[in-house]
Amino acid sequence: MSGLQSLRLVRVSAVSGRRILAARVISFIAALAVGAVVLAACGFDPLHLGTQILKKSLGSRFGLEDLGLLLTPLILTGLAVTVMMKIGLWNIGADGQFYIGAFAATAIGLFVKGPEPAMLVLCFIAGAAGGALWILVPTLARAYGKVDEIITTLLLNFVALLLVYYVATGPWRDRTTGTVASTGRVPYEMPDFFGSLHWGFVIALIAPVLFGLLLRYTKWGYEIRLTGANPEAAHYAGIPVRRRMIAIMLLSGAIAGLAGMLEVTGTVHRLQGGISNNYGYLGVMVAVLARGSPVGVIAGAALMAIILNAGIILQTQGLTTAAVLALTGLIMMFTAVADQFAHYRLVRALPQAAAATATG
C-alpha cells in the first residue's frame, strides 16, 4: 500500500472566506507563473514586464488615476449584478443598462441647458432611470411570466448597443469636430478630485457599502435576503415576493445605468459606440469574484481593474491584444478552479489504514 492511497480529497459544503482567499492568492500566483513561463518561451522578459506593470500602474500617479477610472464602472456594474444575485437572479444585461444610462445622461447633456450642478443631478437621475427602464421588460416578464431573465437581459444588450451606435454616428454625431463615431462633448462634467479621477469614484465606493448596510440593517433588506434565500419561506412570512423582486431588478438596472452616466460625465465626456468597454459583462465576473458580498465587489473590481490596466501596459510593451486577453483568461480560469478546490480538503484515510502503511 502506498502512502498516496491513504490520502483522499473530501468535499466540504461550507467554506470559510479565509480559505477562499488563500486559494485565490495561490491561484493568482500560479496563473502569473504559467503566464511568465509562456512569455519567457516567446522571448519576452517576464520579470521586466512585471516591474513595468507595477511601476506604471500602482507605482505612478497616472497609473493610480487610470486604475480609479477603471474601478468606477467595474464596481457599479459588479454591484448591479450582485444586487440581483441577492434575490437569486442574474443580470447579464448590465452592459445594455450601462449604454442606456450613458445615452440618457448624454441626452440631458446635449439638449438641456442649465447650471452645471443641477444638470449633473438631472443626468444622475436620467442615467439611473434609463438603466431601470432598460430592465423593466425583463423584470415584468420574469415577475409575471416566469420568463428567464438571463436571456432577456442579455438580448437587450445588443439592442442598446445598436441604439447608441445609431445616435452616435447618426442624429447626435459631432458635427463641429467632424468625428464620425461619437456625439459632441457633454458640457456638464463630474468634478475631479485627484488628477483626472472624478467624484464618481467616490460614489462607486459608497454604493456597495450602502447596499450592504441596507441588507443588514433594514426590514426591506431582511425581506430581500429572505426572498433570495427561499422565496417560499418569504411568501409564508407574508412578504410580497413579486414586488420585492421587481424592486431589486429595477435597482440593479439603475445602478448599471448610473455607471454609464458616470462614464459619460466623468471619464469619456461623449457618447460613443464602444463606451461600455464590456463593463457590463466584466461586472458579472466581478460579482462572481465577490461571491455575493456587496463590499466584496470593491475587492473583485480592484482585481479586475488591475488586470485590465496591466493588459493596457503590456500592449505598450509589444504584446498583442490576443496575448493580453489570454493572460486575463488564465487568471480568471485559475481563480475559478481555486474556488472549486477550496471546497476540497485533503484528508488522511482511516488511522488503521495509515498504521498499516507505516508497519507494512
Q: Could you tell me if 297 and 79 are in contact, meaning their C-beta atoms sit under 8 angstroms apart? A: yes
Report the b/e string of 190-224 with b at 16+ CB within 10 A.
Answer: beeeeeebbbbbebbbebbeebbebbeeeeebebb
Q: Is 209 in the site for other proteins (CB under 8 A)?
A: no
Q: Is 50 in the site for other proteins (CB under 8 A)?
A: no
Taking contact as CB under 8 A, which single stretch among the options 126-134, 212-220, 252-260, 320-328 is the one that binds other proteins?
A: 212-220
Query: Mask 329-348, x = binds other proteins (CB under 8 A)?
Result: ------------------x-
Shortest reach from residue 230's CB to other proteins, in Å: 4
Element housing 122 (H / E): helix 116-134
Burial of 172 (0-12, 13-18, 19+ CB in 10 A): buried
Nearer to other proteins, 95 or 223 (CB): 223
Q: Is 218 in the site for other proteins (CB under 8 A)?
A: yes
Nearer to other proteins, 158 or 236 (CB): 236
Residues 7-36 that bind other proteins (CB under 8 A): 8, 10, 14
Give the integer Cα–Cα distance in Å for 58 and 61.
8
Cell, residue 91: 443580470
Among the listed residues 216, 288, 208, 305, the one whose alpha carbon sits nearest the alpha carbon of residue 20: 288
Residues 219-258 that bind other proteins (CB under 8 A): 219-222, 225-226, 229-230, 232-238
Shortest reach from residue 87's CB to other proteins, in Å: 12
Nearer to other proteins, 37 or 229 (CB): 229
Nearer to other proteins, 144 or 236 (CB): 236
| Total number of residues that touch other proteins (CB under 8 A) | 28
Shortest reach from residue 16's CB to other proteins, in Å: 9
Taking contact as CB under 8 A, which single stretch among the options 65-73, 95-103, 218-226, 334-342 is the one that binds other proteins?
A: 218-226
Query: Going by DSSP bridges, is the β-strand pair 344-348/7-11 parallel, antiparallel, or unpaired?
Result: antiparallel
DSSP string, 66-121: HHHHHHHHHHHHHHHHHHHHTTT-----HHHHHHHHHHHHHHHHHH----HHHHHH
- Which positions touch other proteins (CB under 8 A)? 8, 10, 14, 216-222, 225-226, 229-230, 232-238, 347, 349-353, 356
